[in-house]
Amino acid sequence: MPVKNRFAELLPEITEWRRDIHQNPELLFDLPRTAAKVAGLLRDFGCDEVVEGIAKTGVVGVIKGKTDTSGRVIGLRADMDALPIIEATGLDYASKTPGKMHACGHDGHTAMLLGAAKYLAETRNFDGTAVVLFQPAEEGGGGGRVMVEEGVLERFGIQEVYGMHNLPGIPLGTFAIRPGPMMAAADQFQVVVTGKGGHAAKPHEGVDTTLAAAHIVVALQQISSRNVDPLKQVVVSVCTFRTETEAHNVIPQTVFLRGTVRSLEAEVRDYVEGRFRAVVEGIAAAHGATTEIKYERGYPVTLNAPDNTGYAVDVAQAVSGRVDTTVAPLMGGEDFSYMLNARPGAYIFLGNGDTASLHNPAYNFDDNAIPFGASWFAGMIEARMPAA
């Protein structure tokens, strides 16, 4: 595939961008350096339009094809933000900012999409318009949602969107994708359980909040094991259990619980929220305790449209010949989901080989994945808007 040859030539340059971004990680919406670098490069490439400041630090580049008889506009998206993790890779280009690290490979995603933009601006061998979208705050801030809310899809006339994430555990150069749910809806909850605190030697005079909360934690496990259809996927994890006192002889007045609920279908998502509330309130009531529930909907399900998944598979096949179309969905959340909710498109995994897992302090994006990922991004434009 010709695209791939060009990216083999560009690999040293793209690797340099990737390592520079890796060395200078920034968090959430606070990406002044990364965004400026991306915008500067897009201008150097000769993009027809470069817009900064979308969703605070998001950057958009517009590249027009040789012709535009199709009137089509395709969006490609990468994320730019790092994580609050202390890097333990020992790399010579490791993070210069202790406590911030590109541990999810967004440095690689940004570099690959920059590489694709450079190639597309050079060749323009397509009939329509390519829009490259660089978003902030994928790791919890919902930067993709904010870009959609600010109207980025309408403003640039984007009709389809494609995104990519590297994935450790999949061989380098192998792609993985499936139609339908690809990543989970990620909701979170906080519960304050209130009993009647008192002396630990006189439990009969109070309401043991710790015991009530412990029963709630156990009972919540029945949602996935007893309530939801066993053929559907759901995760309910209680991750924080905090009593208001650490004394050995005091029954606490309140216990604080916090955790996350993951699901892959809208109906399951609604059903689980209903069960969650019923279980928490019911178990608390059985103990004479009361509860205050804060249940927040996070990123929606990342849903691959069947037709667009097919297009993504075809391009991945042409790039490397290795595509796993039976990959299981991940129960992690992904805020590219907001773009896929608004436009048809697809989200694909690209193998990072046998490396430390995402969000691990020893993780590193493998630069040898760059020619595959950049070829796929560019290939999507050429395949969906073939030159007239």
Q: By CB under 5 A, name the binding residues for Zn ion.
A: 104
The CB-of-105 to Zn ion minimum distance in angstroms stands at: 6
CB atoms within 10 A of CB 300: 21
Nearest to Zn ion of 114, 120 (CB atom) = 114
Nearest to Zn ion of 104, 116 (CB atom) = 104
Angle of the 306-320 helix axis to the 370-384 helix axis, nearest 10: 130
The CB-of-3 to Zn ion minimum distance in angstroms stands at: 24
**Structure letter (DSSP) for residue 205:** G
Nearest to Zn ion of 104, 223 (CB atom) = 104
Element (H, E) at 21: helix 2-23
The CB-of-332 to Zn ion minimum distance in angstroms stands at: 7
* CA pair distance 302, 330, nearest whole angstrom: 10
Q: What is the dihedral of CA 37, 39, 40, 42, to 10 degrees?
A: 120
Q: Which of 64, 108, 54, 59 is nearest to 82 (CA)?
A: 108
The CB-of-123 to Zn ion minimum distance in angstroms stands at: 29
Q: Which residue has its beta carbon closest to Zn ion? A: 104
Nearest to Zn ion of 105, 181 (CB atom) = 105
Nearest to Zn ion of 104, 279 (CB atom) = 104
* CA pair distance 220, 196, nearest whole angstrom: 22
The CB-of-151 to Zn ion minimum distance in angstroms stands at: 24
The CB-of-53 to Zn ion minimum distance in angstroms stands at: 23
Element (H, E) at 62: strand 58-64
Nearest to Zn ion of 165, 215 (CB atom) = 165
Q: Which residues contact 58 (CB under 8 A, 6 or more apart)?
A: 35, 52, 133, 134, 135, 136, 143, 146, 147, 152
